[in-house]
């Protein structure tokens, strides 16, 4: 990081939800940040105060810079809201304009979930993306977003997995209603349970990595772990999880000596 002015710009744009990528040079990121530094518009959607406060205090992010679009276009019939990430990584939260959606946005935990995706858009991470969003909701709204909901949230990673499971479940219970296929019934029942085994194994494995990474930061920098974790890519979370207790601080200081991004993390977020 070349100058104090550059570091101030980087900190400011990070706060606006434009996170740097591990592969970016500081010069590339500064150029990108200049495109993101847009003035506030007069018709900005106002986030609930509780959600804005959570993002400011827990994640050091100003949510008001993350756009919200009120429109039904592109949403599936059952969707009340979603987060769109464009090719540049800019996240936009879309909310369906109806009464059910208004109740939805009053649910701070669910709105927080979508906002986490929006601010992490530039990282283009997929392995721990849902883990981060679900864990964040449980962290800041534990009563309305219980542990079991956060734990099971990332069970499936794509709509295809859900559709496949539904087909297997329908076959398991639907075939005996129309045909006397005992062998097929047992086979489909076995396939359904076997199919669920992989997502559960993957879920537990990834949660272990996530928990190990966030604990390593929390042990060294209490109350700072979420400000860092929300800004990390999949590879960085993996790297953090494998550090041994006692080596974390030294490893991060060493990384900061060679990578401008970790220099920023260390000086402006952790220390």
Q: What are phi and psi of 83, to 5 degrees?
A: -120, 125
Q: Which of 145, 180, 195 is the last residue of a domain?
A: 145
Beta bridge partners of 83: 93
Q: Are residues 167 and 95 in the same domain?
A: no
Q: Using alpha carbons only, how large is the chain's radius of gyration in Å?
A: 21
Q: Are residues 199 and 269 in the same domain?
A: yes
Number of domains in the chain: 3
Q: How far is CA 85 from CA 25, 90, 229, in A?
A: 22, 6, 20
For the entire predicted model, the pTM comes to 0.86
C-alpha span between 128 and 213 (Å, rounded): 11
Query: How many other β-carbons are positioned within 10 Å of the β-carbon of residue 99?
Result: 8
| pLDDT tens sequence for the chain (271 residues) | 556 768 888 888 888 888 999 999 989 888 877 776 554 444 567 888 889 999 999 999 998 888 888 888 888 777 778 899 988 888 899 888 876 656 665 578 888 999 999 999 999 999 999 999 999 999 998 888 899 999 999 998 887 888 887 777 776 666 555 555 555 666 667 777 788 888 999 999 999 999 999 999 999 999 999 999 999 999 999 999 999 989 999 999 999 999 999 999 999 999 8
Residue 150 lies in a domain: no
Three-state DSSP at 70 gives strand
Q: Which of 123, 145, 167 is the last residue of a domain?
A: 145
Range of the domain at 58: 44-145
Residue 172 lies in a domain: yes
Residue 89 lies in a domain: yes
Q: What is the DSSP letter of 92?
A: E
- Lookup: tokens for 174: 């639907």
């Amino acid at each position: 990081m070349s100058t104090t002015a550059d570091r101030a710009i980087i900190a400011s744009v990070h706060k606006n939800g434009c996170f740097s990528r591990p592969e970016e040079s500081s010069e590339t990121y500064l150029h990108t940040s200049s495109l993101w530094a847009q003035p506030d518009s007069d018709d900005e959607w106002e986030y609930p105060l509780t959600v804005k406060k959570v993002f400011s205090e827990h994640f050091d992010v100003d949510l008001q810079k993350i756009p919200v679009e009120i429109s039904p276009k592109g949403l599936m019939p059952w969707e009340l809201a979603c987060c769109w990430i464009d090719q540049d990584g800019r996240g936009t939260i879309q909310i369906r304009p109806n009464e059910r959606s208004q109740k939805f946005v009053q649910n701070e935990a669910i709105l927080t979930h979508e906002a986490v995706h929006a601010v992490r858009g530039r990282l283009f991470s997929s392995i721990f993306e849902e883990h981060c969003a679900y864990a964040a909701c449980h962290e800041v709204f534990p009563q309305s977003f219980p542990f079991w909901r956060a734990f099971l949230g990332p069970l499936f990673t794509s709509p295809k997995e859900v559709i496949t499971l539904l087909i297997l479940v329908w076959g398991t219970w639907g075939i005996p209603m129309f045909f006397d296929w005992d062998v097929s019934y047992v086979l489909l029942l076995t396939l359904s349970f076997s199919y669920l085994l992989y997502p559960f194994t993957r879920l537990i494995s990834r949660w272990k990595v996530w928990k190990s990474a966030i604990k390593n930061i929390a042990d060294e920098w209490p109350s700072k772990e979420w400000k860092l974790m929300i800004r990390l890519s999949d590879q960085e979370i993996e790297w953090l999880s494998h550090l041994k207790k006692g080596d974390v601080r030294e490893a991060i200081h060493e990384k900061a000596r060679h990578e401008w991004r970790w220099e920023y993390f260390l000086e402006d977020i952790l220390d």
